């Protein structure tokens, strides 16, 4: 195979294959997942054997004579099996970082299989045709296709996302986005997130071995069956908020939470799902500025070009809760441009025709999650602390009235609890903090939430277009 695409980034290149540290200075390397003897060729040409230890990312051996530990990070190194014909036949694998290549010999073909099985979770493999049978294409994008495949050893089914190397290589943004997506997905292990198991590289493609989720998307589920019951919708959104809390614990922002990126793990269970597509995800080290997302779900601060953080995902979750309860989208129109304008202005109406049977507690949660101002919007962790997610009595009129005030004479709902004491609010037009004379944060007329019978387009009549607003070099390209 030609030089690996992963060796092209300067940040991934290493001048030395091994890193040496004194055993007295070593820290925890992580759990040892496999170990055993491997042989290498000495400078004199003879084979010498050492015990090697494998963690989730590194291969390690001990140079006992010098009290030195040698380790090598395998994350972006290419691992290829090989057989040397002769008497006796030799089995082994080589590991390359694009600059240097190291050869390791095993005692038998069975030992080679064991090493390759464990190494496949740590580095980049090359022999995908020997490990998986491609059955059919189940998805397609601008430079990636998704296939249903079967593991030839375990007979388990997987989804394989095959990314064209030509398109990735021809764009720095595409390359960086692919690397970032892989780096993020390697960190994730959550029951409601599609898991990345292994990575392969062939002459023409990068192959990501993912969980296969046989169900439909959440969007297809809503279109075919309509809105969920309030009980199921709240259970669903609680799970989604737990996913966002988990991502937040790793400083990860998804930035494209929407029904199309949520796969139903079981079409008979409306609350069992897996989040997919981390193509726009990034690690937060401060405020973000790149404009990206999907019309109708992107947080207003992104469209207003205000620096943002992980609360943008909470806004998207709030929009999904709105759709789950009403079967309708609050912003979508027949035009992506008009949808983005509504999305930016963040008018959200609750018509009695669709919301008359929804409890005020549920409406209150929707309102809180979809606050136009990120300063007033909760984090996922804060939202999960709401009593509503702790099984409060939904039939209690007293509880309802304490959560949300009735509409005023203008037909507008006061989104603040009656007990709310002096609090700051955001004037988004001036981008400053202010407090009104009554010590209550009353949003300006442009940001009020109407309970009038506004016409909201049906979800299944909406033409959904993925958007990206370029504003700086950080902006990733969409697939």
Residues annotated in a binding site for ATP = 161
The values of phi and psi at residue 323, to 5°, are -70, -40
Annotated active-site residue in 256, 277, 309, 313 = 256
Rounded distance between C-alpha atoms, residue 71 and residue 58, angstroms:
6
Rounded distance between C-alpha atoms, residue 309 and residue 380, angstroms:
12
176-211: buried (b, 16+ CB within 10 Å) or exposed (e) per residue?
bbbbbbbebbbebeeebbbebebbbbeeebbbbbbb
Rounded distance between C-alpha atoms, residue 62 and residue 60, angstroms:
7
Are the C-beta atoms of 459 and 328 separated by less than 8 Å? yes
Cα 473-477-479 angle, rounded to 5 deg = 170
The values of phi and psi at residue 455, to 5°, are -85, 120
What is the distance in angstroms between the CA of the first residue and the CA of the last residue of the chain? 25
Residues flagged as binding site = 161
Pairing of strands 78-84, 132-140: unpaired
Cα separations (Å) of 473 from 114, 173, 175, 298, 470?
Answer: 43, 8, 13, 19, 8
Are the C-beta atoms of 273 and 218 separated by less than 8 Å? yes
Cα 108-111-113 angle, rounded to 5 deg = 110
Q: Is 153 tagged catalytic?
A: no
Structure tokens at 434: 């202010």
- Cis ω for the linkage preceding 88 (within 30 of 0): yes
Closest CA to 123 of 189, 56, 70: 56
Rounded distance between C-alpha atoms, residue 382 and residue 386, angstroms:
7
Residue 449, number of CB atoms within 10 A of its CB = 22
Rounded distance between C-alpha atoms, residue 147 and residue 451, angstroms:
45
Q: Give catalytic residue positions.
A: 256
């Amino acid at each position: 195979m030609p030089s690996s695409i992963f060796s092209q980034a300067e940040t991934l290149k290493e001048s030395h294959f091994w890193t040496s540290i004194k055993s007295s200075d070593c820290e925890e390397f992580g759990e040892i997942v496999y170990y055993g003897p491997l042989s290498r060729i000495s400078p004199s040409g003879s084979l010498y054997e050492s015990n090697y230890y494998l963690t989730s990312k590194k291969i390690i051996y001990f140079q006992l004579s010098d009290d030195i530990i040698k380790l090598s990070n395998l994350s972006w190194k290419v691992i290829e099996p090989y057989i040397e014909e002769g008497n006796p036949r030799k089995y082994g694998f080589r590991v390359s970082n694009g600059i240097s290549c190291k050869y390791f010999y095993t005692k038998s073909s069975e030992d080679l299989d064991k090493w390759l099985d464990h190494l496949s979770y740590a580095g980049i493999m090359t022999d995908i045709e020997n490990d998986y049978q491609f059955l059919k294409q189940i998805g397609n994008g601008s430079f990636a296709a998704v296939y249903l495949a079967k593991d030839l050893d375990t007979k388990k089914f997987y989804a394989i996302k095959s990314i064209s190397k030509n398109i990735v290589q021809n764009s720095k943004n595409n390359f960086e986005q692919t690397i970032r997506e892989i780096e993020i997905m390697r960190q994730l292990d959550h029951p409601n997130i599609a898991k990345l198991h292994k990575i392969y590289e062939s002459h023409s493609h990068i192959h990501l071995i993912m969980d296969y989720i046989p169900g439909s998307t959440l969007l297809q589920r809503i279109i075919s069956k309509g809105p969920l019951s309030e009980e199921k919708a709240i259970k669903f959104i609680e799970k989604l908020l737990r996913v966002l809390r988990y991502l937040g614990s790793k400083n990860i922002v998804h930035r494209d939470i929407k029904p199309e990126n949520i796969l139903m793990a079981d079409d008979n269970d409306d609350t069992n799902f897996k989040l997919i597509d981390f193509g726009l995800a990034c690690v937060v080290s401060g405020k973000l500025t790149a404009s990206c997302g999907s019309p109708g779900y992107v947080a207003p601060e992104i469209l207003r070009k205000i620096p943002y953080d992980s609360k943008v995902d909470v806004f998207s979750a709030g929009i999904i809760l709105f759709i789950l309860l009403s079967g309708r989208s609050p912003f979508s129109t027949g035009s992506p441009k008009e949808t983005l304008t509504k999305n930016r202005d963040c008018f959200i109406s609750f018509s009695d025709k669709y919301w008359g049977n929804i409890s005020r507690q549920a409406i209150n949660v929707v309102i809180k999650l979809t606050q136009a101002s990120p300063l007033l919007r909760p984090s996922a962790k804060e939202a999960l602390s709401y009593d509503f997610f702790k099984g409060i009595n939904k039939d209690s009129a007293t509880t309802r009235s304490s959560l949300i005030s009735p509409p005023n004479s203008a037909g507008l709902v006061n989104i603040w609890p009656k007990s709310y004491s002096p609090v700051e609010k955001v004037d988004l037009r001036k981008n400053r903090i202010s407090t009104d004379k009554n010590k209550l944060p009353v949003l300006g007329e442009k940001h009020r939430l109407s309970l009038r019978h506004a016409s909201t387009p049906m979800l299944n009549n909406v033409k959904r277009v993925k958007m990206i607003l370029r504003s700086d070099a950080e902006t990733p390209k969409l697939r």
